[in-house]
Structure 1
Amino acid sequence: MSDKFKNILSIDTSSKILRLGLQFGSDRYLKLNEPVEKSHGQIFIRKIQDILDSAGMKIEQLDAIIVCTGPGSFTGLRIALSAAKGIAVALNIPIVGISLLDIANFKLKDDNSDYKLIMPYIRDEYFIANREDRIFDPDITSTVKINELLDVTKSFPVIAIGLNLENKQIPEISKKFRIIEYDSSDILYLGFEKLSSGYNEDIELLEPLYLKKSQAEINFDKRNK
């Protein structure tokens, strides 16, 4: 590991699971995966402090931050990005974003097949991204209702990432496609690769990957005009 980035915090609030990861002391790693019933905002900051305490670290010792940019919950993504940007600015450390598409591309890097990728959007709607030339393109997406997912699986090989399998309708449909499992170690790895290459996000331009505006985002835009 680069001596420049020994202590890195990763944050993922894109789904109903809060995923935090902490890489520290060059070769040590802690992770937290915790279901969130309501809002990430109710436990988010406290859980960051908990994972730092477990490592015997103070937040001032962080060298970089990696944040998942979704797509996913608008409110959850906003909470994570606001906190991550605040920490990065306060500590004058780099921040990079990793999307669910980045994770899917990484997980399937040795697979030459074309797929459709299912990702959560809002309530019972889902994003569908197409894979072409071994890459999922954020510019080639559509949305479908949960009752349309089965039709998608009939015409094309399908994989999924970030789905809430507690949804009563999902387990039956999920028999038709493959689930990509991931955790904070994947986000840390991909973020570290970006950081090591010298990449650093423009903090003002770093935003959640919104493939389509939700009502929450529309309301947010109106309030901030």
Structure 2
Amino acid sequence: MKRILAIDTSSAWCSVALSLGEVEPAFRHQPVAAGASQLLLPWIEEMLQASKLAMADLDAIAIGIGPGAFTGVRLGVAAAQGLALAANLPVIPIASLDAIAMELLSNQSFHKIQPSQFVVAVDARMDEIYWAKYQYASSDNEPQRLGDIHLSSPEAIDLEGARYLAGSAINAYGNRLFTHHQLPVNCLDANIGVSALGILGCAMPALVSGKQIPVQELEPLYVRNKVALTTEERDQIFKKGTQQ
């Protein structure tokens, strides 16, 4: 029985899950704005106490490494580093878009379509999106990312060959995503986001495959290096929005 603590604070949610073998994992997921630092460790302590476990009883800590909100990503990674060092546990780094892709497997509309390829795209702010394309063979296999996670304008997303699109970029940028390729409304999921359940879903097969790493090797995934726009850049984005 594999016991994994999964953490994600890369979005506007604080999210924690604890796998407990054959039963449903313990799970807490709440929008927090800037308050994840106050909830994360108490939630973990409460989950462990309720399960009568100590950190040292776990097999690994899975952590969402981004891309996402810089402060949130750093908070989650720092928490995982501290907990793993104290309990001498390995860590399993999971990219946020991979976690969203994994969560799609429990989505009913996704299963109806059974897309062989799909895209996850999330709002990266600054008039850009993070996106990645995935291959999906069957419900017996987890989705496989095709290449890297990209940072681009909404118009530059590659939907060729994809039969499904999921993520917050749909609500944020709408038709700008469909400049080159259209998808039916029933092939869109704008509401799904990253959570500790998706992190946990990716972490379980990763642990079985031996993909855990020493905590000293854990690093955030920063697809973007620039974190703020100049006044001129903000004005240009505003003008673009008013002209549409």
TM-score, scaled to structure 2: 0.66
Aligned residue for 2:53, secondary structure, equals: coil
Alignment correspondent of 2:116: 112
What percent identity do the matched residue pairs reach? 27
Alignment correspondent of 1:207: 219
Q: 1:11 to 1:155 in 2, by over 3 A?
A: closer
CA deviations 1:90-122 (Å, max 9, x no partner) are 111121111133235544795313x44312324
2:147 pairs with 1:159? no
Query: How far did 1:86 drift?
Result: 1.5
Cα contact 1:10–1:22 (8 A) shared by 2: yes
**Structure 1 spans left out of the alignment, 5+ residues:** 217-225
Once residues 73 and 15 of structure 1 are traced to their aligned partners in structure 2, the CA distance between those partners, rounded to angstroms, is 6
Cα contact 2:91–2:218 (8 A) shared by 1: no
Code of the aligned partner of 2:91: I
Which of the numbers 137, 146, 150 marks the counterpart of 1:141?
150
Which of the numbers 18, 22, 31 marks the counterpart of 1:22?
18
Query: How far did 1:73 drift?
Result: 1.0
Q: 1:211 to 1:138 in 2, by over 3 A?
A: farther
Q: 1:84 to 1:155 in 2, by over 3 A?
A: closer
2:131 pairs with 1:128? yes
TM-score, scaled to structure 1: 0.71
Aligned length: 202
**Structure 2 spans left out of the alignment, 5+ residues:** 106-110, 137-142, 178-183, 229-244
Q: How does 1:45-194 map to 2 (within 5 A)?
A: 45-106=41-102, 107=104, 111-113=115-117, 115-122=118-125, 125-131=128-134, 135-137=144-146, 139=148, 141-144=150-153, 149=154, 151=155, 159-161=165-167, 163=168, 170=172, 177-179=188-190, 180=192, 183-194=195-206
Cα contact 1:71–1:119 (8 A) shared by 2: no
Once residues 4 and 199 of structure 2 are traced to their aligned partners in structure 1, the CA distance between those partners, rounded to angstroms, is 11
Once residues 21 and 119 of structure 1 are traced to their aligned partners in structure 2, the CA distance between those partners, rounded to angstroms, is 22
Structure ranking higher in strand proportion: 1
